[in-house]
Chains A and B, each alone.
Chain A
Amino acid sequence: MKKIGITTTVPVEVLIAAGYEPVDLNNIFVTSTEYENYIDIAERDGFPKSSCAWIKGIYGVCIQEGIDEIIGVVEGDCSNTKSLLEVLSLHNIKIHSFSFPHSHRLEDVKKEIQKFMNIFNVSEKVVEEVRIQLNTIREKVKEIDELTYIDGKITGFENHLYQVSLSDFNGSPEAFSNELDNVIASGKNRESVNKAIRLGYIGVPPMTGDIYDYVENHNAHFVYNEVQREFAFPRYKKAANIYEQYYDYTYPYDNEYRLKELKKQIEDRQLDALVHYTQAFCHRAIEDIYLKSQLDIPILHIEGDKINRLDARTKLRIEAFLDMVYDRCPSNI
């Protein structure tokens, strides 16, 4: 199977139907011990200091790992991706783009996905067959999510990891599905862990994966991973077809729409506070103003840059924040 790089979640059903093996370049970047090297490659080729680490990391991965075909999401995700694609085309990398239309109208989403199917020359029928197959895996990840927020048996980090992996099904839906079966089976046998503070993680997945362990040492745990969960399409059952499924996706559209789901999850999962993660130099940091004004729950905004571990100052902030949130926890009053 031929590999194809993706910069974020795209209708992966189309790619699989076309016989491709999609590879989420973010996952390669962030899990690699080489991650600094990837950033370095981009900076040496002229990427400015003031562009975000993800863009540079993805670039470095493409160059270093010999990716020769890539899909970039140019609307609804990051406008930097458009420039990234142009630069990649200079390296003889075949580029495609996909958009989650700003209008967020079903017919526009449909048009985009149909365009996408035409590029890869697959029919709606085959795509639907793949979608139905993949949905059995989505269901397993939903179960993992429940094992986190209802049963306390799957950690916040695992929850993040398995949900975020649905952008590319870890390269092999079948192997990934088996892995999930094992995780679910062994997770069910664990003791429940219940920390005093129930946290929600909102914003893009972190560069600093150690945040999950760090909060657990301060009597808190993440029982909600907003964007990762969106990558996993937890509401797939409500969708009659692929168009509706990708329409009902909060992350690439407007914040008003995103907020409805956020509010619902804060309520359902009985969250005490949120941590909003954004990346240095990212427009999403501005969204913090909007979210804070619309959500009536304590929110700590933290920012990651190039280092994949929390720095001392951020740790101190998280600790002092959790300390005060703890005072308000129902379990503590």
Chain B
Amino acid sequence: MRVLGIDLGSREVKIAMFDGDGLVFKDKMSTMSFYKECCSFDGILKVDVSKIGIDGFDVGISTGYGRNNTDLSRFKAINEIKAHVYGARFQTGLDDFILLDIGGQDIKVVKVEKGIMTDLELNEKCAASCGRYLENMASVLEVSLDEMSGFYENPVTLNSTCAVFSESELIGKIAEGVSLEAMCAGINFSLYQRLRPMLTKFKGKKLVVSGGVANNKAIHKFLKRDYEEVVTLAEPQWNGAIGCCYYGLKFF
């Protein structure tokens, strides 16, 4: 059975396809180009799958930011938290863990026990601790996200509550001649400090990290201080879409 999973993020749309019981295809595109290039509106939003490079599917499951206001035809919409939990279970084989998902604009912390979500915390209003912050700061420093994510030693102190203030502080540090390494480390550390209050309720042994920021090596290092084991998913950005496929496979 071919199952197509679509995770409609606020900035990117992630697409995954299972054939049989494994991932055979993945792709992502900006949310804007997904709507412009792959969808048409005919009372209901329709996806032209050929435009995303797929020639057909048996079951379609969607989740994410856009799932309530874009009723994709031929897709069953599922709750985003559920999609992420299923994705993480599929990718790790674990049943008991804390899932930390850091996306472009939001964060989820979910406690999973016996394979089922039993607690959660979502950031509200402020996106200061999300991927967007790292992107902004990397562009101020004119380094790539990837390069920036490697630094964690001797972090320079930056405002740990507000991302906007951090930006002007960073400019000040540049003027003081602080090294690029210390600034990168400082940015990563300030993001970690903003995550911590959300994580304190979720002490546990295993932390699974998903979302775009999961690839950040420095954050990973910092999180290791708080958990016995920090697991990064093989496909952290596609976790929601993979969870959709897993759901489609199991329950259809």
Contact = CB atoms under 8 A, between A and B. Distances in A.
Interface in A283-333: 292, 296-301, 316-317, 320-321, 323-325, 327-328, 332-333
A320 B82 contact: yes
A301 B79 contact: no
A300 B118 contact: yes
A10 B113 CA distance: 36
9 contacts: A298-B118, A317-B117, A321-B116, A321-B117, A325-B116, A327-B247, A327-B250, A328-B116, A332-B251
Contacts of B251: 327, 332-333
A203 B251 CA distance: 32
A328 B82 CA distance: 13
B114 interface: yes
B114 A298 contact: yes
Nearest to B250: A327
A324 B117 contact: yes
Contacts of A299: 113-114, 118
A325 B114 CA distance: 11
Contact of B120 (A273, A298, A316, A332): A316
B219 interface: no
Given A320-B81, A320-B82, 10 more contacts: A298-B115, A298-B118, A299-B114, A299-B118, A300-B118, A301-B118, A320-B79, A321-B116, A321-B117, A324-B117
Nearest to A332: B251
Contacts of B250: 327
A298 B119 contact: no
Given A301-B118, A317-B119, A333-B251, A324 B113 contact: no
Chain B: interface secondary structure?
mixed
A320 B117 contact: yes
Interface residues of B, number: 15
A323 B120 contact: no
Contacts of A327: 82, 247, 250-251
A125 to B, nearest CB: 51
A300 B119 CA distance: 8
B170 interface: no
B85 interface: yes
A151 B164 CA distance: 60
A204 to B, nearest CB: 19
Interface in B24-82: 79, 81-82
Contacts of A273: 116
4 closest A-B pairs by beta carbon, nearest first, are: A298-B116, A324-B116, A320-B81, A300-B118
Interface string A196-225: 000000000000000000000000000000
Nearest to A333: B251
A105 to B, nearest CB: 35
Contacts of B81: 320
A317 B116 CA distance: 11
A333 B247 CA distance: 12
A46 B115 CA distance: 44
Contact of A298 (B82, B85, B113): B113
A324 B82 contact: yes
A325 B82 CA distance: 10
Interface in B208-249: 247
A101 to B, nearest CB: 34
Contacts of A317: 117-120
Contacts of B116: 273, 298, 321, 324-325, 328
B244 to A, nearest CB: 13
Contact of B113 (A292, A320, A325, A333): A292
B246 to A, nearest CB: 11
A320 B79 CA distance: 8
Nearest to A324: B116
Contact of B82 (A300, A323, A333): A323
A296 B113 CA distance: 11
Contacts of B119: 301, 317
Contacts of A323: 79, 82
Contacts of A325: 116
A299 B119 CA distance: 11
A95 to B, nearest CB: 39
